[in-house]
């Protein structure tokens, strides 16, 4: 379990994870809490289920997607279980690219996969780098790597 909390002492991980959290939190909160123009949780989960249009994609899985966006963003922001939180975001962004945005091409202005791809790349970098400076993971880990 040491690898889960291990992180680098530099500022790069901090900047990257705070940028990722700032981009993801509003989307997760919109779905989980129904704020900022979002719908109630149950309605959002049903909308995701039908929007994915795959027979295997259940309402329960839609709740997992919402939790990954919302709780993943909080975990990344705090730097707590950062690698797992970033991996959950990466999974959701991969699904968003494949199931929702790919058919619209690259550019975000046309509903394309540009934005979720960029967030997924940020999440993948956080998985490899760890939380960085000023993180719960760093405070819990006795095994800090150099910047």
Q: pLDDT class for 65, splitting at 50, 70, 90?
A: very high
- d(Cα 104, Cα 90) in Å, to the nearest integer? 20
Contacts of 136 (CB under 8 A, 6+ apart): 78, 79, 80
Output the pLDDT for position 139. Answer: 82
Output the pLDDT for position 48. Answer: 86
> In the predicted model, what is the mean pLDDT of residues 114-120?
97
Output the pLDDT for position 3. Answer: 67
Look-up of token digits 């962004």: 93
| 120: pLDDT strictly greater than 90 | yes
Q: pLDDT class for 146, splitting at 50, 70, 90?
A: low
Please write the tens of the pLDDT for every residue from 124-136: 999 988 888 888 8
The structure's pTM equals 0.88
Shortest CA distance to 138 belongs to which of 86, 79, 83?
Answer: 79
Q: pLDDT class for 81, splitting at 50, 70, 90?
A: very high
Q: pLDDT class for 50, splitting at 50, 70, 90?
A: confident
| 4: pLDDT strictly greater than 90 | no
């Amino acid at each position: 379990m040491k690898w889960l909390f291990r992180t680098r002492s530099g500022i790069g991980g901090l900047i990257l994870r705070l940028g990722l959290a700032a981009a993801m939190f509003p989307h997760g909160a919109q779905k989980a809490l129904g704020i900022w123009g979002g719908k109630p949780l149950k309605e959002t989960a049903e909308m995701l289920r039908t929007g994915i249009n795959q027979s295997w994609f259940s309402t329960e899985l839609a709740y997992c997607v919402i939790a990954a966006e919302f709780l993943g963003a909080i975990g990344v922001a705090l730097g707590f279980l950062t690698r797992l939180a970033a991996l959950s975001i990466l999974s959701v962004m991969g699904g968003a690219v494949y199931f929702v945005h790919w058919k619209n091409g690259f550019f975000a202005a046309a509903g394309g996969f540009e934005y979720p791809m960029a967030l997924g790349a940020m999440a993948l970098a956080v998985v490899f780098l760890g939380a960085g400076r000023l993180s719960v993971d760093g405070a819990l880990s006795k095994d800090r790597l150099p910047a």
